[in-house]
C-alpha cells in the first residue's frame, strides 16, 4: 500500500514522502491517526503541485541547514555524568543531555533530531551522535562522557 506522509515519522520517512507500507499498518494505524493519507493518483498530483510551489522555501531551509552544519563541523562536546569508580554511569546519557550541551555551546537543537548509535550510553568514553538538520543534511558530533 502506498501512502503519503503528512508528518515526519522516525525510521519511516519525512513529510510528503510517498512510501510503501504493509496494508494493515497503513489502514489501521497511519491513516486513522492522521499521520498519512492514501496515495491515490489525485493525491499524488496535488502533492506534486504543492511541492513545486514550495520548492523555493525548501531550498532556503536546506541552505540554512547546510550553513548550520558547517558551523557545527568539528564541534566536540563534554558531558558530565555521575559515575562509579569502575567507569559505569549511574543512569545513562541520552539525547536530552546532548541537546543541553549543544544549547550551552550556542546551538538550539531539538533533541528529537539527534540520533545516537548506542541508544543508552552507560559507560564513560568517547561517542558520536548524528544530528539530522534536514533530509539531506546530517552532521556528526563527537562527544565525551566524563565523570563529574
- 10 Å CB burial of residue 2 (0-12, 13-18, 19+) is middle
Q: What was the pLDDT predicted at 32?
A: 96
- Across residues 6-34, what is the average pLDDT? 92
For the chain, what percent of residues have pLDDT higher than 70? 100
Residue-wise pLDDT tens digits, 95-105: 899 999 999 98
Q: How confident is the model at residue 6 (pLDDT cuts 50, 70, 90)?
A: very high
Q: Which element (helix H / strand E) includes 32? A: none
Q: How confident is the model at residue 85 (pLDDT cuts 50, 70, 90)?
A: confident
- Across residues 49-67, what is the average pLDDT? 87
CA 13, CA 15: separation in Å to the nearest integer? 7
Please, what are the domains in the chain? 2-63 (3.40.5.10), 70-147 (3.10.430.100)
Amino acid at each position: 500500500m502506498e501512502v503519503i506522509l503528512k508528518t515526519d515519522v522516525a525510521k519511516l520517512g519525512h513529510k510528503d514522502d510517498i512510501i510503501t507500507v504493509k496494508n494493515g499498518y497503513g489502514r489501521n494505524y497511519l491513516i486513522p491517526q492522521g499521520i498519512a493519507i492514501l496515495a491515490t493518483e489525485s493525491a499524488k498530483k496535488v502533492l506534486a503541485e504543492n511541492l513545486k510551489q514550495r520548492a523555493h522555501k525548501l531550498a532556503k531551509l536546506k541552505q540554512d541547514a547546510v550553513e548550520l552544519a558547517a558551523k557545527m563541523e568539528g564541534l566536540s562536546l563534554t558531558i558530565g555524568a555521575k559515575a562509579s569508580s569502575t567507569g559505569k554511569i549511574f543512569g545513562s546519557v541520552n539525547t536530552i543531555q546532548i541537546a543541553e550541551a549543544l544549547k550551552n555551546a550556542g546551538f538550539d537543537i531539538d533533541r528529537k533530531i539527534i540520533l545516537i548509535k548506542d541508544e543508552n550510553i552507560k559507560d564513560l568514553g568517547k561517542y558520536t551522535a548524528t544530528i539530522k538538520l534536514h533530509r539531506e543534511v546530517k552532521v556528526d558530533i563527537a562527544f565525551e562522557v566524563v565523570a563529574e
